[in-house]
Amino acid sequence: MVPARHAPFFFQSIPINSADKELLMTVKGIGPALAESLIYHREHFGPFKRVDDLTKIQGVGTKRAASIAPFLLFDEVP
């Protein structure tokens, strides 16, 4: 179930550089731990600019990055 406040995003790409934990978790393949890691990484190392940046996260290889990337928007930096 998608929280009502996130329903408009359900069929849209998620802005990875500004999304909160709950919104990131609406993407299949992103659970609580990965959502927290993504937020930590962007806050400490800067925004994600391309799909390859996801592989800098422990536990995210090229296959996993490729599976979640179509649901993420990389060009919106807050």
- How many Å apart are CA 58 and CA 1, to the nearest integer? 27
60-66-21 Cα angle (round to 5) = 60
Task: Give the pTM.
Answer: 0.81
Per-residue pLDDT of the chain (78 residues; tens, 9 = 90+): 455 555 545 568 999 999 999 999 999 999 999 999 999 999 999 999 999 999 999 999 999 999 999 999 997 555
- How many Å apart are CA 27 and CA 64, to the nearest integer? 12
Question: Where in the chain are the domains?
Answer: 14-73
Say if residue 14 is exposed, middle or buried (CB neighbours under 10 Å; 0-12, 13-18, 19+): buried
Asked whether 10 and 19 are in contact (CB, 8 A), the reply is: no
- Fold of the domain spanning 14-73: DNA polymerase; domain 1 (1.10.150)
